[in-house]
Amino acid sequence: MVCAFNDRDNLYLVMDLLPGADLRYRLAYKNKFSEEEAKFLIACIIISVEYIHRKKIFHRDIKPENLVFD
């Protein structure tokens, strides 16, 4: 993340462009993941959700387009 700012209604996050880094793209590009790839992606998602939960952040829109991997 490069920076973040907000107005009265929205929070904006400025991030570097990572083409093809979201899970939706990866699911569409690859029909199947190997067991090792699936375990890695699931572990990343679990660690991320645990982290935002510990920080008491509520994310109401978790979907493949919003999961970005670097």
- The secondary element (H helix, E strand) that includes residue 5 is strand 3-6
| pLDDT average, residue stretch 32-48 | 92
* Reported pTM: 0.67
Could you say which of 9, 16, 61, 70 is catalytic? 61
| pLDDT average, residue stretch 13-37 | 86
Structure-token match 């939706």, residue found: 24
In the chain, where the domains are located: 18-66
Instruction: Determine whether 61 is an active site residue.
Output: yes
| pLDDT average, residue stretch 45-61 | 90
Q: Do the beta carbons of residue 5 and residue 13 sit within 8 Å?
A: no
**What is the pLDDT, as a whole number, of residue 28?**
87
